[in-house]
Structure 1
Amino acid sequence: MSRKPAAVVAQVCAHTLGIPLDLVSIQPSNSVVAANGDSTAGSVTSDTCCYATIECCKILLARLEPVRLTLVDPTWQTLVSTAKAMEVDLTAVYM
């Protein structure tokens, strides 16, 4: 059974963040999102996208940890909303 690469990346993201899959959305790539996007090369693209996603999730989790410590057993939505209100950068890039 073949899965679309975006679905696999979403699963990796959800697993790494420890959140339900339905809280993860994947946006299509275009020249606005990735101005210098390269062509795909079979499973290499899926592997590298998954690895970059894991690393970005680790960055986000590190940024969210101080916020999490101020809350009592927060839901993901509460954690992210509180972090946004505290102006925590919720965008991560890994190359």
Structure 2
Amino acid sequence: MAVMEISVVPVGTCNPCVSEYVSYAYKLLKEKGYYFQLTAMGVIVQGDVEELLQLALEIHRRPFEKGALRVMTTIRIDERKDTDLTVEGKLKKLKKAL
């Protein structure tokens, strides 16, 4: 399993507020049934790395469907082969270290 952090910024919209675009991507994640955490700057989602890459493409394209003229997307993926990797597991280890 892998953990992906994705941030999508629509550019070329009539409004500096992007919550309409964020909520549209959020609905996609809910529809697809992914485990995810919404943050102030993006979303963290876990799953199979191939599925996450496909999901990233879908999320990237969502703002275009709402009229954005340009979209800038940042993706970070954490994948391990030696142990099961989950968002909750990563947080649990961090809290233990604190």
The normalised TM-score by structure 2 is 0.31
Considering fraction of residues, name the structure with more helix: 1
Considering fraction of residues, name the structure with more strand: 2
